[in-house]
Every structure is written in structure tokens, then in C-alpha cells.
Structure 1
């Protein structure tokens, strides 16, 4: 029951490579959140109780009525779920900082400046061509990254809410929201990092 995708090295190149960033998030989500039912099923040990022949007497899906042991659920959340979520949060937070920082290494800066200069020199007669006044400058990569981070955070919120609902159902958890449980874990397990 791995659940944790390898944490990438936090560099601006990771953030500006949207394919790499999305691949990390997709792999991490698919290895844990998308397979949360299977992950939780692995916590139940029906073989220890023996095979129940009555389990095959019904045709069709059965409702999983068994609640998973609270110690197993707590260990799963502490050792697998929350650390995986924290790794994704760390990457998204780091990339959000990169997106709001100056970007002197943007390779498209010169190209954008040339396009803007050409646009200023254009003669626009909207009576002849109503679309001639349109100009769509190339976005700086920091703006593209900002939009990507916003989208991925929205996806992360949906994924975590769905995962938490499954955990609440299967582990018999209370009504706490995932944010409260995650922040309580983060506060409890926070270790100062050397600078």
C-alpha cells in the first residue's frame, strides 16, 4: 500500500514545466485518492476470519457494511494519506511562490516585446476589417503558471473532499471536514526545517 508518489525536487523548472507538474499531481492522485476504496479494503483482513460462503449467495454488488478498525484507519491517515497530501500541497505552494516572483529568465520576454512593438506600429481600420484591432499578446509564463496552480488547487480540493467522504464512510469517522483533520495532523507533525 504505497500511496505516495516520489516527491519531486522543488525547482522553478518543475513549476514552469506544466506537463511535469501535472504528471506528478496526476500520479500522486491516482496512486492514492483515485484508488482510496482499494487502499481501505487492504486494511480489512477478511481472511483472518475465514471465508463466509453466504457472501456468494447474493447476485450483484453488496454494500460494504463493515467499518474498518479505528487504529488501522488512524495509521493509514497518519502515515500515508496526510503525508501524500502534504507533498502535493508543498509542490503547489512552492509553485505559487514561483508564479508570483519576478521571472528574469523567461525565454519569451524578447518575443513578447517584439510582438507588442509590431502591434503598436500596425495601422488599424476597423471599418474595413472589424477584427484587425484584436491583439492577443503572449502571456508571461508566470501568468500561465498562476492559472495552472489555481486550476490544480480546485482539483485538489475536489479530490480531497471525495477521498475524505470515503474515509468517513468506511472508518466511521465523525463529521469533521478534511481541512480540519489535515491541519490538525500538520500542526501535530510539524518539524522545523533547517534553512
Structure 2
């Protein structure tokens, strides 16, 4: 169960990153220290997600190539069209998925889930909250006469940092769905049994259950 994030601490480095990681995990994919400040630094949040995807999903074809051995040359097959890629033994592919890909997905899910909670939690320490509140109040007092000024009725309120964060999380979750679907199609094409027809969500949930048991 997720607990509500703690109140934002005083001065701290929002980009402080944990150095602990599994042997098969790139340093670019290390789990960040989850704090409200990390989430509110949306450029840092997006950079973590970008680097994580670049070390796993964006290079999935190259990584799978390293898991399969090139076939031995057989002159009798030169007249037969050969597949452009090599299938990977089930046990080898399973090890790669459980040791590298699924943990990377899990880290990104954990970060996005935490930041979604931060985005919907009270944020009394927002440095711009007072200025935004005053601007909104001033807008209510404005006299609007669109006949004299067609643009006088337009007002675009600034978003609080929690609202900005909520938008970033929503967009990144959409990106995550697309990235994982694309990655899974590549994996299915290299699997001996097409991953038994499972979707990435089914396979990922199965791994999570087995990991927690």
C-alpha cells in the first residue's frame, strides 16, 4: 500500500539518485530517491524516464540480438529465404525479461505512481501558490467588456506545480503504454512460442505476482 508522501522537506537536492541497482541494470536506470521535490522537478523526472527507456526498450532489438547465436552456414538452405532475425531459447529470454526488462518497467511504474500521489496531495509549500491565488482573485475583479476589447474576457490562469506534475504524469503514462506495446511486439517476434500469446500486461503482472510470493 502506498502511503501519502511526506511534506516537502527543506532545501535538498531533488536530483539525488540512489546508486543501488541489480547487476544487469545500467547506471542510467538506477532507481531515484523518491521525494516530492524529485517529482516537482519535472525535467528531472522526465530525464529519468527517458534514460530508463533508452537503456531497455529503445535498444530492445540490439539486446535480443546478443542473446542468440548466429546460425551455422548450411549451403543447402541458400535457395530458401531465411528469417531476418534469430529466435531466442525460452530459458534465455525468460532470464533476460525477469532480470532486466521487467525490473526496469517496475521502477518506472513505481516512480510514476509515487509522483501521481504527490500531484494529488496537499502542497502547502508551493512557492508560487500565493501569487497564483492573487492573480486568480484579481481576475475575478476585472471588468470585462468584449465589445470594446474582444480579448478582455480571456484569462489563462497559471497552473500550480501540482497541476503541472499531474499533466506530466498523465502524458508519461501514455508514453509508457506505447513504449511497452512496441517492445513486446519485438519480443514476441523473437520468442519460440510467441510468448504464449500473452500481452505485455499479462506477462508483467504474472512476473510481479511470482516476485512477491
TM-score, normalised to structure 1's length?
0.87
* Change over 3 Å in CA distance of 1:38–1:121 after alignment to 2: same
Q: Describe how 1:8-157 pairs up with structure 2 within 5 A.
A: 8-46=32-70, 52=73, 63-157=83-177
SS at match of 1:123: coil
Aligned partner of residue 174 in structure 1, secondary structure? helix
After TM superposition, the runs of 4+ consecutive aligned structure 1 residues lying more than 4 A away are 1-4
The match for 2:207 is: 185
Q: Matches of residues 163-182 of structure 1 in structure 2 within 5 Å? A: 163-172=183-192, 173-182=195-204
Distance 1:63 1:112 in 2: 60
TM-score for both structures, normalised by structure 2: 0.80
Structure 1 unaligned blocks of 5 or more = none
**Count, aligned residues:** 183
Counterpart CA distance in 1 for 2:211 and 2:103 is 10
> For structure 1, which segment, 109-118 or 99-108, has the greater mean C-alpha deviation from structure 2 after superposition?
109-118
Larger RCO, structure (CA 8 Å, separation 6 or more)? 1
- Pick which of 35-44 and 117-126 moved more: 117-126
CA RMSD of aligned residues (A): 2.1
